[in-house]
Structure 1
Amino acid sequence: MKTVTGLFDNYDDANDAVGELVATGVPRDDISIVANNATGWHKEDDETEAAGDAATGAGVGAVIGGAGGLATGLGLMAIPGVGPVVAAGWLAAAAVGAVGGAVVGGAAGGIIGAMTNAGVPENDAHVYAEGVRRGGTMVTAKVDDRLAPNAEQILKQYNSVDVAGRRSEYEAGGWTGFDPNADVYTGDDLQQVRRGRDL
C-alpha cells in the first residue's frame, strides 16, 4: 500500500478527484478529505445521516459515501492549528483522535503525525497541513501499489497544487513549518489569501 496525497485550492476539484479515484477502484474507506471551513461554506445543517453516524459511533472512517465523492459523508470538526474543517475518512479520524467514533481531542502528533504515520514525507505533510490551514482541501488515499501511479495522475489532472512550489511560496513569507499552536485563519484572512493568489 502507498499513500498518495493532493492539495487543492478548490474543494470542487478535490471532490472530483475523489470521485475519479473511486471510479478507478480505490475503496471509499481508503480515501480521506479534509477541507478548511473557516468561511462557513459547509453548515451544520448540511451534515448528512452518514456524518451523523460518524459523530455517534460509526467512526469518521465509515462515512465515505455518495456516487461522486465524499460530499455525503462530510462532518464538521476542528483540527489543532488548522481550525474548523469539513472532513471524512481515516485521516480525519486519526488527526483529531477519534476513538470509537467519538472525537476525544488531538491525537499524538495531530494532522502531521497522522500523515507521516500513513507514509507521507514529513516535509510534505507540513505543506499539506498549512495548505488546509490557509483555505485548501487535502485528499489522501491509501492505494494498492499497482494503482499508485494512476492515483497520483488523477490528483494532478484535477488541479492539485505543486507542493514544492507552494512550499517555496510559504517560505518566501517567512513560514518554516506547520505550527499546531498557530492562530487559525478567519474567513476574512482566507479571502485575503485567495485574492493574493489571484494577482
Structure 2
Amino acid sequence: MKTAIYCIATNRVQAENIVDNLKLSGFPSGDISVLFPDQTGTRDFAHEQNTKLPEGAAAGGAAGMGVGAILGWLTGIGTLAIPGVGPFIAAGPIMAALSGAALVGAAGGIIGAMVGLGIPEYEAKLYDGKIRGGNILISVHSDNSSQESIAKDIYKKAGAEDINSTSEASVT
C-alpha cells in the first residue's frame, strides 16, 4: 500500500535541501509534491498541467532563479491562482489536484487538494494555515516502510516541522 509522507519546510533553502535528498535517495520526481505561496511577484511561470519530466523541467528552468535549481527538476511545476486564496507555486501530484480546484473556483482548494492526496482534513487545515503564512508543504509517496523511514529521516535531519504520514487509498 502506498503511503504519503509530508512535512512543512520553513524556507526555500530547507525545502530544496529536502527535495535534493529525496532525489538522491531514489524517490522519482513524479512522487514528490511541493506547494508554497508565490510571494515573489514573479509571473514568469508557465501554467503546466501535465506530469512529464521534460516539460516540467523546462517550466522549472523557465521559471528560473526564483524557485532554485533543485526544485526546477520536479514534475509539472507551475503557478496557480486559486480564487479567494491567491497565487501559489506547485509541483508534482499536488499540481494536478490544485489545477482542478483552481479551474472550478473552489474556495478552500488547498485543503481539498491535500485531502484528495490522502492528508486527513484536520492536518490539511493546519498545513493550509502554514502554507498561507509562507511555509512550504513537501509530500513524497512511498511504496514500502523502508522508503517511509528514509523520507522521515530526511525530513528530520533537515529540521522540517509537522512530519506525518498517511496511507493512500487505491484508485481504480
TM-score over 0.5 (shorter chain): yes
Partner of 1:97: 100
TM-score by length of 2: 0.72
Contact 1:96 1:106 in 2 (8 A): no
**Bigger fraction of residues in strand:** 2
Contact 2:83 2:107 in 1 (8 A): no
Partner of 1:17: 18
Q: Is it true that 1:115 corresponds to 2:114 in the alignment? A: yes
- Higher relative contact order (CA closer than 8 Å, sequence separation 6+): 2
Counterpart secondary structure, 2:70? coil
Alignment of structure 1 residues 133-144 onto 2, 5 Å: 133-144=132-143
After superposition, what is the alpha-carbon deviation per residue over 1:78-127, rounded to whole angstroms, capped at 9, x for unaligned? 234542111111112202317xxxx6234697222222232222211111
Alignment of structure 1 residues 42-57 onto 2, 5 Å: 43-45=42-44, 47=45, 52=46, 55=48
Partner of 1:167: none
Amino acid aligned to 1:84: P
Q: Quick one: structure 1 residues 117 and 76, their matched pair in 2 at CA, closer, same or farther if it must change by over 3 Å?
A: closer
Counterpart secondary structure, 1:70? helix
Query: Which 5+ residue runs of structure 2 have no aligned equivalent?
Result: 62-68, 165-172
After superposition, what is the alpha-carbon deviation per residue over 1:29-86, rounded to whole angstroms, capped at 9, x for unaligned? 011111111342xx223x3xxxx4x53xx615752678x6322554221234542111
Kindly report structure 1 stretches of 4+ aligned residues shifted beyond 6 Å.
Answer: none
- State which drifts further: 5-14 or 78-87: 78-87
Q: Quick one: structure 1 residues 37 and 109, their matched pair in 2 at CA, closer, same or farther if it must change by over 3 Å?
A: closer
Counterpart secondary structure, 1:44? coil
Q: Quick one: structure 1 residues 124 and 80, their matched pair in 2 at CA, closer, same or farther if it must change by over 3 Å?
A: farther
Tell me the matched-pair count.
150
Partner of 1:153: 153
Contact 2:7 2:139 in 1 (8 A): yes
Contact 2:17 2:158 in 1 (8 A): yes
Q: For the aligned residues, what is the CA RMSD?
A: 2.9
Percent identical pairs in the alignment equals: 35
- State which drifts further: 1-10 or 74-83: 74-83
Partners of 2:103 and 2:150 lie apart in 1 by 36
Partners of 1:156 and 1:106 lie apart in 2 by 35
Contact 2:38 2:89 in 1 (8 A): yes
Partners of 2:147 and 2:128 lie apart in 1 by 24
Contact 1:61 1:89 in 2 (8 A): no
Q: Quick one: structure 1 residues 72 and 163, their matched pair in 2 at CA, closer, same or farther if it must change by over 3 Å?
A: closer
Q: Is it true that 1:33 corresponds to 2:40 in the alignment? A: no
TM-score by length of 1: 0.63
Partner of 1:6: 7
Partner of 2:64: none
